[in-house]
């Protein structure tokens, strides 16, 4: 008997709504699901929905779908909801008097429905086996696109090393890709680019390029300008979006604007990160806005990385920019305003015990383990410390370990999610929230990479275990919160006196 009910399907607008309505109205639910008023609306009028299970004082917030193309996040969070409501597996021990679990299944409905409408256009009649096969093929294409870019970059790097090129390598690489967007790339093409941009004789470069090409790109004759992970969706058009109501019409119209103003391959509809105004919800923060603005004035065009290095990031588009316009002051999107408001209200009431910002791929959990005060300061003044550091680390560690245990039992290998610390600088809304709130995490789900559908490319080996390991780890996290919840309330003070002795005192953490 399986512990959890796992449904393997690619959601679209109808399936998503049907799934939620089944979950909410299931007569077998042990713990009822409450429907709340939406926390906000997207620009086109799609609701940012909010559900909850339990009535306890400790709130845990789960949110997915900040990036529209990371469809497994929305898939996971709705199935997590369903399995908790049914008291499946470890959730037979769930205590609704202790916890309220808040679910925001899809923060970016415009991006999510764009991606899934496009997928549906190609995949709607596929059987489960065909979905798996097609997703596996997508995974391979996506990977191949990365290999092509890193292969070419390696050739340019190798050339710079051999000829001790003083010009910055990354500059040369950038220039190469800017000039090559619509070009078929061959060893001869790279050779003549390197020769003309450095004035070194073609004859001297030729062998070196050929040698490295064979090492990195094997028997390939050339690299096509069309990305393989786009080619797989050939035949897509905006017609994939039905004009069923006003918000759908608006969505289609805004997308039409994006695709007619800027040169984006239409296949990117199936991998749409941003909202339909072309803003990337995670990049939508003042730090990244300033960075991109500065880079735009010095570099002009800014492209995304690797397999997406033909997609601009500083105009409205599928990858998305950090704010509506770089010529106007920074502005949060309605989706982010709604989220920030929601979390702030909860925090004000001291109800926020953890926040999970769920993304698509990586098999890891980002925590924020920095002490807020510098140890040094305690030598000169009284320092008040709280237990954020400990709570944050402990929850993430227990969570990751428990995923490992599930892998151990199902596959024979202890293969836990990794935990990752803070970045060297804040560049995402996810980072801002991790820094601001006590146990705020970014969870990157699938170990099999390649949004939107690569996570579906191995049903048993990747998809199912992604679902079950996280469901299980989530319960472990709830139990850990119960074990250490007193620390949420307490702070301590410390001060070193002249003799170097430290004095501790206790103080309330929350006012």
Nearest distance in Å: CB 364, Zn ion: 12
- The answer for residues whose C-beta is within 8 angstroms of residue 467's C-beta and 6 or more apart is 4, 6, 76, 79
Nearest to 101 by CA among 82, 120, 118: 82
Q: Which is nearer to Zn ion, 218 or 425 (CB)?
A: 425
DSSP strands (E only) in 248-396? 352-361, 364-366, 383-386
Nearest distance in Å: CB 69, Zn ion: 8
CB 176 within 8 A of CB 157: no
Q: Which is nearer to Zn ion, 79 or 446 (CB)?
A: 446
Q: Which is nearer to Zn ion, 250 or 359 (CB)?
A: 359
Residue 487 DSSP symbol: G
CB 107 within 8 A of CB 48: yes
Nearest distance in Å: CB 291, Zn ion: 18
Which of these ranges, 67-75, 123-131, 366-374, 491-499, lies near Zn ion under the rule CB under 5 A? 67-75
Q: Which is nearer to Zn ion, 252 or 359 (CB)?
A: 359
434 scored as a contact of Zn ion (CB under 5 A): no
Nearest distance in Å: CB 430, Zn ion: 8
Which of these ranges, 231-239, 346-354, 355-363, 419-427, lies near Zn ion under the rule CB under 5 A? 355-363
Phi, psi (5° rounding) for residue 36?
A: -105, 170
359 scored as a contact of Zn ion (CB under 5 A): yes
- The answer for residues whose C-beta is within 8 angstroms of residue 468's C-beta and 6 or more apart is 3, 4, 6, 89, 406, 410
Q: Is 322 left (phi over 0), alpha (psi -120 to 50) or beta?
A: alpha
Residue 223 half-sphere exposure toward CB, CA atoms < 13 A: 27
Nearest distance in Å: CB 428, Zn ion: 9
Nearest distance in Å: CB 424, Zn ion: 19
Q: Which of residues 449-508 bind Zn ion (CB under 5 A)?
A: none
Binding-site string for Zn ion from residue 312 to residue 351, where x marks contact by CB under 5 A and - marks none: ----------------------------------------
Q: Which is nearer to Zn ion, 69 or 135 (CB)?
A: 69
By beta carbon distance, the residue nearest Zn ion is: 359
Q: What is the 3-state secondary structure (H, E, C) of 431-459?
A: HHHHHHCCCEEEEEEECCCCCCCHHHCCH
- The answer for residues whose C-beta is within 8 angstroms of residue 415's C-beta and 6 or more apart is 404, 407, 408
136 scored as a contact of Zn ion (CB under 5 A): no
Nearest distance in Å: CB 115, Zn ion: 12
Task: Report in angstroms the alpha-carbon separations of 363 from 46, 281, 305, 321, 470.
Answer: 30, 21, 20, 26, 10
Instruction: Tell me which of 50, 67, 229, 248 binds Zn ion, using CB under 5 A.
Output: 67
Q: Which is nearer to Zn ion, 70 or 102 (CB)?
A: 70
Q: Which is nearer to Zn ion, 200 or 304 (CB)?
A: 304
How far apart (Å, rounded) are the C-alpha atoms in residues 276 and 177? 27
Q: Which is nearer to Zn ion, 132 or 335 (CB)?
A: 335
| Helix/strand/coil for 357 | strand
Q: Which is nearer to Zn ion, 111 or 187 (CB)?
A: 111
Nearest to 471 by CA among 73, 86, 89, 33: 89
Q: Which is nearer to Zn ion, 110 or 132 (CB)?
A: 110
Nearest distance in Å: CB 281, Zn ion: 9
Q: Which is nearer to Zn ion, 151 or 360 (CB)?
A: 360
Q: In this structure, what token pair is assigned to residue 182? A: 């619509």
Residue 180 half-sphere exposure toward CB, CA atoms < 13 A: 25
Q: Which is nearer to Zn ion, 229 or 385 (CB)?
A: 229
Which of these ranges, 322-330, 353-361, 420-428, 496-504, lies near Zn ion under the rule CB under 5 A? 353-361
Q: Which is nearer to Zn ion, 141 or 451 (CB)?
A: 451
Nearest to 72 by CA among 449, 366, 382, 341: 449
Q: Which of residues 181-210 bind Zn ion (CB under 5 A)?
A: none
Which of these ranges, 23-31, 114-122, 284-292, 359-367, lies near Zn ion under the rule CB under 5 A? 359-367
Count of residues engaged in binding Zn ion, rule: CB under 5 A: 2
Nearest distance in Å: CB 25, Zn ion: 31
Which of these ranges, 59-67, 107-115, 236-244, 345-353, lies near Zn ion under the rule CB under 5 A? 59-67
Q: In this structure, what token pair is assigned to residue 140? A: 């391979």
- The answer for residues whose C-beta is within 8 angstroms of residue 446's C-beta and 6 or more apart is 72, 360, 361, 362, 363, 454, 455, 462, 463, 466
Nearest distance in Å: CB 112, Zn ion: 12
Nearest distance in Å: CB 445, Zn ion: 10
Nearest distance in Å: CB 156, Zn ion: 29
Phi, psi (5° rounding) for residue 447?
A: -75, -25
Nearest distance in Å: CB 66, Zn ion: 6
Which of these ranges, 29-37, 116-124, 356-364, 471-479, lies near Zn ion under the rule CB under 5 A? 356-364
- H or E segment to which residue 12 belongs: none
Which of these ranges, 60-68, 111-119, 318-326, 460-468, lies near Zn ion under the rule CB under 5 A? 60-68
Contact positions vs Zn ion (CB under 5 A): 67, 359
């Amino acid at each position: 008997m399986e512990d959890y009910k796992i449904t393997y399907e690619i959601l679209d607008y109808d399936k998503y709504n049907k799934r939620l309505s089944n979950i909410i109205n299931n007569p077998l639910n042990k713990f009822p699901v409450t429907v709340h008023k939406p926390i906000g609306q997207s620009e086109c009028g799609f609701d940012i929905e909010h559900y909850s299970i339990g009535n306890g004082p400790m709130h845990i917030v789960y949110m997915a779908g900040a990036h529209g193309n990371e469809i497994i996040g929305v898939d996971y969070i709705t199935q997590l909801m369903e399995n908790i409501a049914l008291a499946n597996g470890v959730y037979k021990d769930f205590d609704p008097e202790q916890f309220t679990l808040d679910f925001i299944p899809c923060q970016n409905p415009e991006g999510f429905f764009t991606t899934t409408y496009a997928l549906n256009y190609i995949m709607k009649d596929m059987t489960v086996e065909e979905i798996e096969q097609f997703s596996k093929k997508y995974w391979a294409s996506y990977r191949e696109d990365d290999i092509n870019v890193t292969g070419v970059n390696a050739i340019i790097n190798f050339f710079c090393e051999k000829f001790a090129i003083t010009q910055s390598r990354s500059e040369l690489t950038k220039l190469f890709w800017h000039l090559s967007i619509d070009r078929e790339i061959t060893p001869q093409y790279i050779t003549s680019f390197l020769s003309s941009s450095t004035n070194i004789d073609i004859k001297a470069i030729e062998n070196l390029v050929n040698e490295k090409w064979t090492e990195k790109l094997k028997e390939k004759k050339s690299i096509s300008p069309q990305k393989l992970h786009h080619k797989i969706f050939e035949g897509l058009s905006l017609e994939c979006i039905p004009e069923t109501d006003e918000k759908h019409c608006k969505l289609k119209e805004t997308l039409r604007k994006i695709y007619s103003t800027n040169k984006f391959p239409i296949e990117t509809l199936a991998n749409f990160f941003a909202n339909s105004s072309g803003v990337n919800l995670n990049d939508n923060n003042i730090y990244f806005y300033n960075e991109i603005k500065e880079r735009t004035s010095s570099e002009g065009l800014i492209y995304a990385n690797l397999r997406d290095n033909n997609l601009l990031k500083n105009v409205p588009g599928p990858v998305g920019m950090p704010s509506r316009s770089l010529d106007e002051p920074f502005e949060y999107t309605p989706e982010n305003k709604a989220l920030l408001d929601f979390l702030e209200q909860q925090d004000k009431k001291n109800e926020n015990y953890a926040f999970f910002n769920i993304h698509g791929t990586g098999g890891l959990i980002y925590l924020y383990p920095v002490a807020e005060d510098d140890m040094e300061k305690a030598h000169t003044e009284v320092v008040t410390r709280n237990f954020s550091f400990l709570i944050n680390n402990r929850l993430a560690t227990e969570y990751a370990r428990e995923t490992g245990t599930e892998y151990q039992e199902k596959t024979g290998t202890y293969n836990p999610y990794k935990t990752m610390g803070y970045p060297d600088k804040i560049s995402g809304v996810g980072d801002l929230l991790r820094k601001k709130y006590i146990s705020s995490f970014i969870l990157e789900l699938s170990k099999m990479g390649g949004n939107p559908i690569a996570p579906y490319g191995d049903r048993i080996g990747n998809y199912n275990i992604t679902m079950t390991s996280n469901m299980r780890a989530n319960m472990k996290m709830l139990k850990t919160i119960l074990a250490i919840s007193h620390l949420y309330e307490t702070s301590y003070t410390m001060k070193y006196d002249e003799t170097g002795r430290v004095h501790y005192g206790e103080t309330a953490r929350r006012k």
